[in-house]
Structure formats: C-alpha cells, structure tokens
Amino acid sequence: MVISTGGPTLAQIRAFLAVAEFLHFREAAAALGVSQPTLSAALAGCEEALGARLVERTTRRVMLTPAGERMVPLARTVAVAVDAMVAEADLARRPFSGTLRLGIIPTVAPYLLPAALRGLRRSFGSLAVEVHEERTARLVDGLATGRLDTAVLALPTGHRGLVEQPLYDEEFVLVVPRGHPAAGRASVSPKSLRELEVLLLDEGHCLRDQALDVCREVGAAGVESATRAASLSTLVQLVAADMGVTLLPETAVAVETRRGGLAVTRFSPQAPSRRIGLVYRESAGRGEEYAAIAAELRRAARVRRLPVRIAGT
C-alpha cells in the first residue's frame, strides 16, 4: 500500500511527466539531465505523496496505470502554471516591462493621454499600459489594494504610504456664455464668483472640490447646491445654454470649448490653480521606474504644448 504524506514537489511532478512522455526510464532521465536512480526516487516520491501508483514497470516495458493516465493532464497543468509564474517573475524583475496599470482622473485623461501613451510606447517599448479612468477616491483605493500600480491625479492626496511625483501646475479659467458681461473682459477677479451662478461637476470629482475651495476662499455662497454635471463636456454645454458659468482647468479649454457659444476669461491677479502628479505606493519598490515614467509624462505635456507649468522648471 502507498501512503500519502502530502503533495508532490515540482521535481517529482516533472519526473512523472518525463516517464509518461518517454515510457522509458533511461530516456526520461536523460531528458531531465538526472541519473536513473534519481529519476526513480523522484517518481516514487510522487506516487507516495499522491497515495496512488502512477507507473507500472516490468522487465520488458513501462506503462501508465489508469490513475497515471488521469494524472498526466493535471500534472502538465501544474508544470505549465509554475513555468508561467517563473516567467512572470523574471519579467517583473526587469524594469519597464510587463503591464503598467495606470489610473487617471477624467479631468486629465482626454488632454494628457494622447501624447503620454505615444511617449510611453516609444520610450518603454516592453511596457504594456493598461488605462483606468476613474474618480479620485476609486484611484486611491485602487492604489491601496494593489489593483493599480500608479495614478495621475490632483495633489496632494493626503494618504500615507503614497509617493507623489509632481507633473505640472495648471490654472483655472472662467468659462461663460458668449453673451455674458464677463465675456469681453481680458480678466476678472476671483471675487467676481460671489455674484455668479457657478456650475459644478458631480460629487466624487476632485475638480468639484477644487472649484468649491476657490469659491469658498472668495466668499461665494450657495455653490454646493448648484446644478451638477457628470463630465466637463456636459458642464460646458450647460454654460453654453446660459444656465451659469463654470471653472475649467486650462488644459481642457481647447477641447471643451470648441463647439462654440462660449467665452473664456482669465482670473487676475493670482489665478487659482491645481497641481497634477503621478502617485504610487512607497512599498512597491519601483520608485526609479515610476520616476522615469513621471519624467516621460512631463515630456508629453511639453510635446502636446499643454498650457501648464511643468514641475521643476
């Protein structure tokens, strides 16, 4: 009787597979680069661990038992899975390879990604970028749980354990209907928001919180109950319909105001602004790689001629 003492080792599984393939101990041992006694011991250990006879050996031939026949596809699955794990680990050890799960907030994605993805492909050809466009809370949660590797969002995040690489600063501008009194002005004071109906994005967008902060700083009241939109595109169309005004990050202006019916006025003095950065877990141990990716994102912002001030310049 064969008594099971636990699962077989990978070496024992490979010994069984070699015997199952060649049905010849000398050839199987040569294929594995081991001696026949070593092969026989590994096979015996596999059978003992499984509690089942897998191979029948006579003086004239080697045969698989019925149990051995059934075990072959399972053993192959295990060996292939382990090989895949080893290959993936080897890939992970190499910088700028494998898959980069990149999160990005919706108020940045359409304006930075076109140039950024081209630049990442050009500079890091072995890196596959998987983009996740989500709101800030989901991105931070994705970083914390390991669902995401890095994320592009507004700084600071206020979360411990995250490293923040600033990318650029951008100003907010005031977007008004074309016939609005502020439409023809070269600039307006942020205090003018006190008298305006400011439209905001839905809760969960960091841009909503940033716009609220601007309004509160100048004493604008009642903004929290304003009409809300799910996207910047909807927001500016509400403005075009003369339902109010809104604040846009300057990188969004060229794309979101091209449909017409809108006017853009800058704030003066000291326009409100936000900082965008690349964020990743400190514990990831890939700081040098992510710093290089942040540098490529800054370069992409320059290439695309985004109206921003690149961090560190």
Phi, psi of 178 (to 5 degrees): -60, -35
Whether the CA torsion 46, 52, 57, 58 is positive or negative: it is positive
Task: Indicate the residue type of 41.
Answer: A
Token couple for 70: 């059934």
Phi, psi of 272 (to 5 degrees): -65, 150
Q: Which residue ranges in the chain fall short of pLDDT 50?
A: 1-4
**What CA–CA distance (Å, rounded) separates 127 from 34?**
38
pLDDT (0 to 100) of residue 2: 47
pLDDT (0 to 100) of residue 5: 52
Phi, psi of 186 (to 5 degrees): -70, -35
Token couple for 164: 């923040």
Q: Residues 83-96: pLDDT tens digits?
A: 888 877 776 677 78
Phi, psi of 275 (to 5 degrees): -110, 130
Query: Strand ranges (DSSP E) for 161-232?
Result: 162-177, 187-188, 200-201, 228-229
What interhelical angle do 109-123 and 287-303 show, nearest 10? 120
pTM (two decimals): 0.72
Q: In which region does residue 293 sit, left (phi positive, over 0), alpha (psi from -120 to 50) or beta (all else)?
A: alpha
Note whether 100 and 127 are within 8 A (CB): yes
Token couple for 173: 């501008």
pLDDT (0 to 100) of residue 1: 43
